[in-house]
Amino acid sequence: MVPHEEFSFAMPNTVRVKALTQPFELEVTGADQIVMAQRAEELGYEMIPIPEHFIVPNAHVDLTGPHYFHSTVAQAFIAGATRRIRVNSSVTLLPLPHPIIMAKALSTADWMSNDRTVGDRGSQAEGAVGFSSSDRYRRPPAVRGPTAHRPASHSRATRR
């Protein structure tokens, strides 16, 4: 059996890293991104990654770039314009937003996209802006992740 290879489409103008960004990308708008996402889907691409950084220290701008989207909002935008392609957060920063608000946003985007949003978690803010692991919000025992706040009819298990 031949393994299935998956291909992702790097959406232009989701980051502005000098080593990766082509000049044309700076002119790409949200409307352009819809057209590109739909075309990527037509061509058989299986995923679009959306990187996220909330705070880029001035000392890191030359290396990491000054421009990033809120990944959950961008995922919902791209998923709403497509039917099949998965949209990966390519790291969702969990230490900054309240965990219940973030869980609700992730589960809403996931449900509305018919299970096509994928959230990778990260803690980029640690150290860069004075956060440490001990400063993170403490999750109440009942919160186990994005599906914890879904009504039973919206959980993945009941839709499959």
Hey, CA dihedral for 10, 15, 18, 19, is it positive or negative?
A: negative
Give the model's pLDDT for residue 70: 87
* Of 65, 53, 51, the residue nearest 21 (C-alpha): 65
Strand order in the sheet with 86-88: 47-49, 86-88, 117-118
User: pLDDT tens per residue, the chain (160 residues)?
Assistant: 556 678 889 898 888 888 888 999 989 999 999 999 999 999 999 999 998 877 777 888 888 778 888 889 999 999 999 999 999 988 777 777 888 998 899 899 999 999 999 877 665 444 444 444 444 444 333 333 444 444 444 444 434 4
pLDDT at position 123 is: 54
Predicted local confidence at residue 39, as pLDDT: 97
Q: Is 109 exposed, middle or buried (0-12, 13-18, 19+ CB in 10 A)?
A: buried
Q: What is the pTM of this model?
A: 0.70
- pLDDT given at position 3: 61
Contact 101/139 with Cβ under 8 angstroms?
no
Give the separation between CA 118 and CA 134, rounded to whole angstroms. 26
Domains in the chain (CATH in brackets) are 23-159 (3.20.20.30)
For the chain, report the end-to-end CA distance as a whole number of angstroms. 26
